[in-house]
Amino acid sequence: MSVLVRECTCAALTLLLLLPGVARAQTLNGVAEWTVVSGGNYANDVPSAENGSFWQRYTLGYSTPVIDPRLMKCTAEGSFRTSSLNSGSGGEMQEGHQRDVAYKWGVQLFPARAFPFYIEMTRDAIGESGAYPTSNGIRGSVALPPGVPLPDFRTLNRSLNVGWQLNVATLPRVEFAYRSAESQVSGGPYDAEQSEGDVHVGVFEDTKRTRQSLRFQRTAFANAVSQVFNQRMTEFDYDFGATLGVRNRARARAGQRATFSQFDLPSIVVDPGTAGYSLPSRGDVGTRYVIGGFTYEPTGEFSVDISGNADRQESQDVATSAKLATTTARYDPVRGLSLNASGTYGQRGQSIENVPISVMTRVAQVGASYRAGTRWLEGRIGGTRGIGSSETPGGDSGALDSQSGQAGLSLSTPWINLNAGFDEAASRDEILVFGNYQSTRAYGSAQRDIGRASMSATFDDAVVQRGRGETLARNHQQTFTASASYRRRDHMWTANTGGFKNRSELGRDETLFSGAAYQGQLSRALRASAWLRLEHTSATETRLDQRNLASYGNLEYRYRQFRFGIEYRRNNQDLRYERLVNPYVFRGEQWLIHLSRTFGVTF
């Protein structure tokens, strides 16, 4: 949306808000906040900086209906915030300032009817002196040459949100949502820009026998600073389902999806003195698919399903495609036992570096599963076995082989719930490289409640291997979590731990964490909270080894519209990685005192 349209819309909204005598039940509310912060930090056991800052923020909001609350509601809000910071060590102290002015407008049309519409616009202008450290990631990515005086920075954030719905019983349900946001940072000759957008449109219709949906989704994100990071996703699909009778069901689905990502890191930013390492800059994937099927179920124990699909997936230098028809039959001879058989016929293809291969495939598969148990214990087991062949247009043929198996056990009692299982699957293709696949997965979970105490734990171990020869890729992932909590009246204590491990040809990544927290109401007006968290992250490819210990405590007192709080934070970090010559040790702490006053009136 152009700047002219934005400004005209803002002017129109302002005029509506100022119309005299047309509104009832107007609301005026606001808040005033003051915060004092004091802290310091150490780098490699040497005092590097002490800082003290003062923040103040004032917000005023106004809400009013226009003519009638069922016709239109308008809201407006403005806020003003300033902060100052003194930081440094010894006799080298620096003073930084920040000034933030923000506005927000919003309009709701027909909020209580079946076709509500809303629009909301925000604008936030931030001015900062160069010495003021900011948490704005866009400004933080602006690279300044060494020795250059720090300029003053100006940040402008704008956003637009629009939405509409149609909910009429005799018409299809319609949804529409649009969001656009942008951030611009400028400081002397240096600038940066970030934008994002999202569009969603959906049409849904449900009748007594049919169900239909048509959806469109587009999401985009772009960041142009010293590094370029772009992402886009566009998806359009149609879904249909119908109950043709007591025993017949039909379904169909078609759509396409396109994703794109870009990450450019110029070598001059990595290391000006050596040849820089550049990650792959682009990657996009496109998918088109059509799926249809028909199910006939004369009894609850027997059913036949006929389905067909055509799809194609494309990415850089690699593409796969399939046009297949499948028939599946299921029969349950006794309770808990299910037998199935299927046959597949069609064309499959792949292309690697513009070298295409196409084959005609014939596959037959049989399988069985069995489930049995008591009220508190249940076991399940199943498996499939498939064989087939593929033949190229030139007459070359190759065998196909697939198998899978699953087993699991569940225990459920008033005291404890347990669940564990194991899955395994493998397929072999003598012609198509991407037809080779092997995976194993073990998982489990446990949960127990004892009065006010609750404990739970989960784990998952998966190994996935794809391809063959030069395209072979193997990945091993492990995750686990455990937590415990205890609640008594208005007090709650929690503790948790967990981790993630990933092993592949590129290296090994590992993250472990543990923590504890407390929150409670010490009295009617006094509330306390605290937490402690320990993290360890390592990666063999970059020789990263990072250890973090963070703690937080907060005490808050509320009296009517006043709120007073005192907060303490502490962070210890030890960091090592291949580009860091010596280990980096950071110790920091911060005290914060906060006072605020809120108000609201209706007239």
Q: Calculate the average pLDDT of the chain.
A: 85
Query: What is the mean predicted confidence (pLDDT) over 104-122?
Result: 94
Question: How large is the average pLDDT for residues 77-93?
Answer: 77
| Percent of the chain at pLDDT exceeding 70 | 85
| CB neighbour list of residue 161: distance below 8 Å, 6 or more residues apart | 118, 119, 120, 121, 177, 178, 179
Instruction: Decide which of 584 and 228 is more confident.
Output: 584
Q: Which residue has the higher pLDDT, 385 or 394?
A: 385
Please give the pLDDT value at position 266.
40
The confidence score (pLDDT) of residue 1 equals 41
For residue 146, what pLDDT is reported?
63
Pick the range with the lowest mean pLDDT from 141-150, 229-238, 309-318, 378-387.
141-150
DSSP letter at 375 equals S
Least confident piece of the model among 140-154, 360-374, 442-456, 526-540? 140-154
- CA distance readout (Å), 357 to 9, 138, 284, 349, 394: 57, 46, 22, 6, 10
**Quick one: which of 278, 260, 266, 163 has its CA closest to 221?**
260
Region 10-21: mean pLDDT is 45
DSSP assignment of 86-110: EEEETTEEEEEEEEEEEEEEEEEES
Q: Is the pTM of this model over 0.85?
A: no
- pLDDT over 70 (residue 133): no
Q: Which residues of 414-448 are buried (b: 16+ CB within 10 A; e: fewer)?
A: eeebebebbbbbebebbbbbbbbbebbbebbbbee
Higher pLDDT, 232 or 236: 236
Instruction: Tell which phi-psi region holds residue 6, choosing left (phi > 0), alpha (psi between -120 and 50) or beta.
Output: alpha
Say if residue 579's pLDDT is above 80: no
Q: Which of 35-49, 312-326, 465-479 has the lowest mean pLDDT?
A: 35-49
Q: Report pLDDT for 48.
A: 58
CA dist 421 and 161 (Å) reads 45
User: How does residue 246 score in pLDDT terms, banded at 50, 70 and 90?
Assistant: confident
**Cα 74 from Cα 64, distance rounded (Å):** 5
226 phi/psi in degrees, rounded to 5: -65, -20
169-209 pLDDT per residue, tens: 889 999 999 999 998 888 877 777 889 999 999 999 999 99
Q: Which of 23-32, 110-119, 446-455, 574-583 has the lowest mean pLDDT?
A: 574-583
Residues 6 or more apart whose CB falls under 8 angstroms from that of 91 comprise none
- Residue 163's contacts (CB-CB under 8 Å, 6 or more residues apart) are 117, 118, 119, 176, 177, 178
State pLDDT tens for residues 559-570: 989 999 999 999
For the stretch 459-474, pLDDT in tens is 999 999 988 877 788 8
| Rounded distance between C-alpha atoms, residue 544 and residue 20, angstroms | 64
**Calpha distance 463→36 (Å, rounded):** 52
Q: Which segment of 48-57, 152-161, 437-446 scores lowest on mean pLDDT?
A: 48-57
